[in-house]
Structure 1
Amino acid sequence: MFVEVARTGVVVQDAYVFDEFDVRLLENWSDAELSDALVASGLGFIREGQAFIDARELERVCPSEDPDWRKGFEVMWRYAREHGWTGDDGRSILAHVKRVS
């Protein structure tokens, strides 16, 4: 799963792929511009070059009513928590930023 960020918007892609998670920036933007886009979408923010994506917002925009999605997401979320890949708020998942512009 990844969060795609472009001038046209912020979209979650490959929602059923749970063994990878990142933010893919399709523009030549600064961290501040990327953070502004994530905040405006409600999905997250940038801190010290890392993206933090709100798990509850992922549930809102992904097919969370599907039991298969729910199971995969819960495994991914648990794995992130076990490895310390979460935000201080306890509800966001750390995601590396890939600049693909």
Structure 2
Amino acid sequence: MIVEVVTGAEERPQVRVVDTDDLSRLHLALGQVTDEEADEALREAGLGQLQDDGTGLLDAAALRAAAEPDADVADWAERWDRMVESARSGGWTSDDGATLRVHIESAASG
């Protein structure tokens, strides 16, 4: 699953959740937007924020609510739970599990 922040209509950054059925990976992809624009767009979408230039923080419940309606696999909920548990065991969640820490991939670095 990928959370993208890309330039949208009228040059305003937009947040999209794509590849919702691929729960073997989760990252934040930034298009041609500044860190400030990406942080603001994530906050406005209610999905999270940037922690630093390499890490984002995503609200797990909001991400699930955004992604699940687009899921096409029957066992998506079980896959989601496994992904979150894997993140938790790897130290990629907040203590309460409400926030997922994710790597940022920037178009500028590619």
Instruction: Tell me what 1:12 maps to.
Output: 17
> In the alignment, what sits opposite 2:60?
55
Inter-partner Cα distance in structure 2 for 1:28 and 1:61: 21
Equivalent in the alignment of 1:87: 94
Residue 35 of structure 1 is matched in structure 2 by 39
Q: Match for residue 28 of structure 2?
A: 23
Q: Percent identity?
A: 30
Moved more, 18-27 or 64-73: 64-73
Q: Give me the whole-angstrom Cα distance separating, in 2, the residues matched to 1:88 and 1:25.
A: 26
Q: Paired residue for 1:98? A: 105
Structure ranking higher in helix proportion: 2
Q: Give the Cα–Cα distance (whole angstroms) in 2 for the partners of residues 89 and 69 of structure 1.
A: 22
* Paired amino acid for 2:23: F
Structure 2 residue matching 1:62: 3-state secondary structure: helix
Where structure 2 has 5 or more consecutive residues not aligned to the other structure, the ranges are: 9-13
TM-score normalized by structure 1?
0.87
Describe the superposition over 1:24-78 as per-residue Cα deviations: whole angstroms up to 9, x where unpaired: 111141x222111110111100112210111100121122687511011000000
For residue 39 of structure 2, give the secondary structure of its aligned residue in structure 1.
helix
The TM-score normalised by the length of structure 2 is: 0.81
| Cα distance in structure 1, aligned partners of 2:21 and 2:36 | 29
Ranges in structure 1 where 5+ consecutive residues have no aligned partner: none
Rg larger in 1 or in 2? 2
Aligned residue for 1:15, secondary structure, equals coil
